[in-house]
Amino acid sequence: MITDARVSHPTVSVRRLCELHRVSRSWFVHQLGREAVDPDRQLAEDIEAVVLKWTGYGYRRVTHKLARRGRPANHKRVLRVMRERRLLCRTKRRYQATTDSTHNQSRFANLLPHVIPTRPDQVWQADLTYIRVKQGFVYLACVLDSFTREMVGWSLSRFMDAALPLAALDNALKARRPAVGLVHHSDQGVQYASRMYVDRLRSMRMIPSMSRKGNPYDNARMESFYKTLKMEEVNLQDYVDLDDARQHLDRFIGVLYNQERLHSSLGYVPPIEFAARYHSA
């Protein structure tokens, strides 16, 4: 108020204004020298520490991550601070077609609407995507556990043939050894419909399931994973070659995604932690 009064009454001395407001002149001088306190400064620093590592996190995941780090905050406040600091960002996505469903190979019905997974290794979902490197593209095949959202197997190759998803499937089988009757879901791409791939499923007594033609929502959990992968890893890198991409993906999938990244549908815990809670229950 004294500052405002000085503007309105420039001829009145500071001492007299302090007397009128019943404060000492030394107190007023001290107040002028104090820096303005930003009540959101510490929260902003905590948020920045999260989004520097998890560039694709929205305010909900950031809120849960802060709570896990012992820094609880109201989600509305987190959203406001992220907006003010421009920490809400969207990463552009590139596109390269990976599904060729114009073939005469076997096709199978979509079983996902009839099977709700209640345990690990009951339903696996598989899909392919592309990864840009300096000299073009390499291709990634992944196998996701539908219940825990854990990536149980993956493979990277320069070629988008049936050997690629088969290698990812074999890696998943080595890691998990599921019981008979596991439902394996994929799109209708020629790689998953090939005799070599289908024979491998049948030899392991798995039940094939496929999305409807041209309907990516039938395999939404895989689509969601690839969106996360592109936003938080692939589109932030400039991979030199296949080996460089494999090294980065191994860390992102095996460590960051499976062990550390919070998953909203799992109650904001990582897949490995969710699976551990299931087995200990």
Report the distance separating Cα 104 and Cα 206, nearest Å.
22
Whether residue 108 contacts residue 211, with contact meaning beta carbons closer than 8 Å, is answered with: no
Give the model's pLDDT for residue 7: 56
Q: Helix, strand or coil for residue 233? A: coil
> Model confidence over 144-170: pLDDT tens digits?
999 999 999 999 999 989 999 999 999
> Model confidence over 37-61: pLDDT tens digits?
678 888 888 888 888 778 778 888 8
Domain boundaries, the chain: 2-33, 41-84, 112-280
Strand positions, DSSP E, the chain? 123-133, 136-145, 151-157, 183-186, 207-210
What percent of the chain has a predicted confidence (pLDDT) above 90?
57
Cβ atoms < 10 Å from Cβ of 156:
19
Give the model's pLDDT for residue 93: 47
Whole-prediction pTM: 0.70
Query: In the structure encoding, which two tokens stand for residue 143, read together?
Result: 């196998």
Whether residue 230 contacts residue 248, with contact meaning beta carbons closer than 8 Å, is answered with: no
CATH code of the region 112-280: 3.30.420.10
Cβ atoms < 10 Å from Cβ of 55:
15
> Model confidence over 196-244: pLDDT tens digits?
999 999 999 999 999 887 676 788 999 999 999 999 999 889 999 999 9
Give the model's pLDDT for residue 104: 59
**Mean pLDDT for the chain?**
86
Q: What is the side-by-side order of every strand in the sheet holding 151-157?
A: 151-157, 136-145, 123-133, 183-186, 207-210
Cβ atoms < 10 Å from Cβ of 180:
8
Classify residue 34 by its DSSP letter: S
Concatenated DSSP letters of 115-130: ----STTSEEEEEEEE
Concatenated DSSP letters of 144-173: EETTT--EEEEEEES--STHHHHHHHHHHH
